[in-house]
Every structure is written in C-alpha cells, then in structure tokens.
Structure 1
Amino acid sequence: MTDPTDAELAARYRPLLEQERTDLLAASDDTAEARKPVTLDQTSVGRLSRQDALQGQAMAAAMETRRNGRLTAIAAALARIDEGAFGWCEDCGDFIGSKRLDVDPCAMRCVACAS
C-alpha cells in the first residue's frame, strides 16, 4: 500500500478540519452568555442558586478552554496542510496512518512515536 500524496491528504482532511473549526466557533458563540461572570445579588437569589450559577459558569469556562485548545490544534493541522507536512510524523517522518488521522486529524505523531 502506498502512502497518500499531500494533495490527497489535503483534499480529504482540510474540509473535516474546517468544519470542526466552524462547529467549535459556533459552540463558543452559543455559550458566551454562560461564561459571563455571575452576578451575586444576595437579595434576590438564594445561596444554592448562586452556587449553581457559579458552577455552571465554571463548567462553561472549562469547556471554552478545551475548545480553544482544539482550535489551536486545528490551526496547526491546517498550517501543516499548507506546508505539505500534514500526515507525516513529526518525530520519525513516516506516514501517520489514515486510521489514526480519521480518529484525530490533528495527530502529529505516528502510533509508534506517540507511545
């Protein structure tokens, strides 16, 4: 079995990466309100309601942090596509493998080097 060309890799994975980026940015926009600081008005909201609001805000902020990490990985993968380095192990230079890229198109290392 021959390794795919850079053009084949770009044609297969660029649309997937761009779609994931679009979805993540939309999700970020959808949860912007939930990440805003919680107003602690003790005259109108009980202690448990404030705790729930703070917990919800913290979870939304943590999810945004994970989203931003993934967006960074996607940007790096798209840059590797542009440079002709996508799909090739950063350590050994071998092809990462289609199955691994299908699971995570942002993978930078083959299974052997990643373990």
Structure 2
Amino acid sequence: MSEDEARKALLDRRAELDSEESLNADARDTVELQQDSVGRLSRMDAMQQQAMAQAQERRRKGERARVEAALARLDEGEWGYCVTCGEDIAEKRLAHDPSVATCVKCASGNREQ
C-alpha cells in the first residue's frame, strides 16, 4: 500500500467515523424516566441500548485517535515503521489496517529486549 493510498483510506475511515458519530448521537442521550408512558422493561431496554451506543462511541473515539495518529505519522514520514522498535511494518498488515502503529512482534509482545 502506498502512502497516498493509505492517506486516502485513513481519510475515508475518518469521514465514516464522523458520520457514524452524528447518526448515533441521539442513542447516547440520557434515557428519560416516563413512568406513565413507558413500562419498566421498555425503560430497561432503552437503558441497555444507550449503554451499547455509549460503548460504540468509546470504540469509535479510540479508532479515530488511531487514524489521526497514523495521519500524523504520514505527515512526519514515519508511517509504515513500528513506533516501538522502528522496524518496517509488514505490507499486508498495513494493507489490512493502515492505522496500525506496531509490527506483529511488538503487537504480540514477542519482541526480545
């Protein structure tokens, strides 16, 4: 994967994450307690859906941070190199996810010190 292809993939993914965030904003809002119109199970279901939406948002923010860090590495000429050991990251690994920051050995903890 070339740097231009990686940049495009990262920018596209960032746009997708932004779109998902705006679509799911209502689901993360506080669940209103309306005893007269919503039964107990419906409230519990709404609270569970809210918790799931909040968990998705946390994962989305983490992924967005990884995308932003990868874009910064591209700008600095450091993309494609492991941030831990400095070795090249495998081409297939980068093609699968251009936001990865470590080589397989460092990611799995198998790097000898």
Aligned-pair distance for 1:91? Answer: 2.3
Q: Indicate if the aligned counterparts of 1:88 and 1:95 stay in contact, CA closer than 8 A.
A: yes
Q: Indicate if the aligned counterparts of 1:31 and 1:60 stay in contact, CA closer than 8 A.
A: yes
Listed as ranges, the matches of 1:6-21 within 5 Å are 9-21=2-14
TM-score, scaled to structure 1: 0.89
Aligned-pair distance for 1:98? Answer: 1.1
Q: Are 2:32 and 1:36 aligned?
A: no
Unaligned runs of 5+ in 1: 1-7
Q: Distance in 1 between matches of 2:85 and 2:33?
A: 54
Q: Distance in 1 between matches of 2:88 and 2:2?
A: 11
Q: Number of residue pairs matched?
A: 108
Q: Distance in 1 between matches of 2:17 and 2:25?
A: 12
2:95 matched residue in structure 1: 102
TM-score, scaled to structure 2: 0.90
Listed as ranges, the matches of 1:81-92 within 5 Å are 81-92=74-85
1:20-78 CA deviation, whole Å, 9 max, x = no partner? 00001101100111111010111111000000110111100110010000000100000
Q: Indicate if the aligned counterparts of 1:87 and 1:101 stay in contact, CA closer than 8 A.
A: yes
Stretches (4+) displaced over 2 A = none
Unaligned runs of 5+ in 2: 109-113
Q: Indicate if the aligned counterparts of 1:9 and 1:86 stay in contact, CA closer than 8 A.
A: no
Aligned-pair distance for 1:103? Answer: 1.6
Aligned-pair distance for 1:92? Answer: 2.3
